[in-house]
Amino acid sequence: MKYAIIAATGHLGQAVIKDLLEERGVAPEEIVAIVRNREKAERVLPKGIGIREAKLRETEKLKAALDGIDKVLFISIQPGVGYHRAELQAKAVEALAQAKVKQVIFTSYAHVETAASPIAYDFLFTENAFKFSGLDYVLVRTNEYLENVASFIHQGASTGEFAYCAGEAKVGWALEREYAEGLSKILLADHPQKIYEFGGQPHSFADLAAAISQVSGQPVTAHNLGGQAYLEYLQKKVGLSYHQADLLLEKISPEAAGDMEYDDHDLEKILGHKLTPFTQAVGEVLTENY
Ligand SMILES: NC(=O)c1ccc[n+]([C@@H]2O[C@H](COP(=O)([O-])OP(=O)(O)OC[C@H]3O[C@@H](n4cnc5c(N)ncnc54)[C@H](OP(=O)(O)O)[C@@H]3O)[C@@H](O)[C@H]2O)c1
């Protein structure tokens, strides 16, 4: 069996490849990383796996990179300046269909059909591209990675406070390595479900402060600011540019956090074991210096 991973050079892609090689016993020659930057891939990915270069919009090159591949893990790309994520991903779906791969697993957004945040749009658009592609596909809709709030965890532990703007919303955080393990298990499964909703037990930002307090041994306060006040705080106190602050605000807005309040169990089911307890997971993000 030959497995390809698209967006393999990111945190999640690297974690999936590590899990496939070290925990699932997949041979390096069965894995192909499809990347847009070969030099980076050679630097960050394990030796022995295949590396093929193709951008998502380069249909012919991407088809050639998919030659001989059975199953593909298509990790969603980050939004960016100068391209439209939804369009690029839909273009890649077209190439995957033309390459006639046996199955594609796509990382999507939690309960995307009813999501309120504008971030969800790109994922819904890509899921629709899959629906009309003729491909055998699996949607793994993910809640948030705990690493998404790594800066809050570090700041809380070092200063005793952090600011956020998501009110009482709860988020089903789990560690990125746990999502990675779940994804590699789905990639290897003979009969996966059509849709998975991956996430951990929902926690509020006040719960996050309490967990940081437990692991750091000092009181930690979470200050809930209104959107505009939070934007100013991120620029003046944290030192982010307007663009960085706006992106972060979009990710952790009350709407985005509200999209993540589900208590889903598909991740634990596919893992076959319990997720790392919340406080321990917060400690892991703190010590791993993510
Ligand atoms: N649910 C959540 O909490 C959450 C949090 C963060 C991310 N996500 C989603 O999960 C994905 C993976 O997360 P991650 O932590 O692995 O992100 P990451 O470390 O930023 O990696 C993103 C990956 O996408 C590739 N990429 C970015 N823009 C691209 C483009 N225009 N064309 C082709 N490839 C492109 C990057 O390639 P290079 O290495 O060449 O830059 C990299 O391999 C993200 O892209 C995002 O869609 C979800």
46 alpha carbon – ligand 1 mean position (Å):
18
Domains delineated in the chain: 3-142 (3.40.50.720), 143-173+198-262+270-290 (3.90.25.10)
- Ligand 1 atom with least separation from CA of 7: 43
75 alpha carbon – ligand 1 mean position (Å):
7
| Separation CA 4–CA 285 (nearest Å) | 28
- Ligand 1 lining (C-beta closer than 6 Å): 7, 9-13, 36-37, 40, 55-56, 75-78, 80, 83, 88, 107, 142, 144-145, 148
Note if the pTM is more than 0.85. Answer: yes
3-state secondary structure of 119: coil
Query: Can you give the pLDDT of all 290 residues of the chain as single tens digits?
Result: 999 999 999 999 999 999 999 999 999 999 999 999 999 999 999 999 999 999 999 999 999 999 999 999 999 999 887 889 999 999 999 999 999 999 999 999 999 999 988 889 999 999 999 999 999 999 999 999 999 999 999 999 999 999 999 889 999 999 999 999 999 999 999 999 999 999 999 999 999 999 999 999 999 999 999 888 999 999 998 889 998 888 888 777 777 778 899 999 999 999 999 999 999 999 999 998 76
Dihedral, CA of residue 275, residue 278, residue 251 and residue 82, to nearest 10 = -50
| Separation CA 66–CA 63 (nearest Å) | 5
6 alpha carbon – ligand 1 mean position (Å):
10
143 alpha carbon – ligand 1 mean position (Å):
15
Sort strands 3-6 and 31-35 into parallel, antiparallel or unpaired: parallel
CB 123 within 8 A of CB 108: yes
3-state secondary structure of 220: coil
3-state secondary structure of 26: coil
Q: Hey, what are 240's tokens? A: 């982010």
- Identity of the amino acid at 283: G
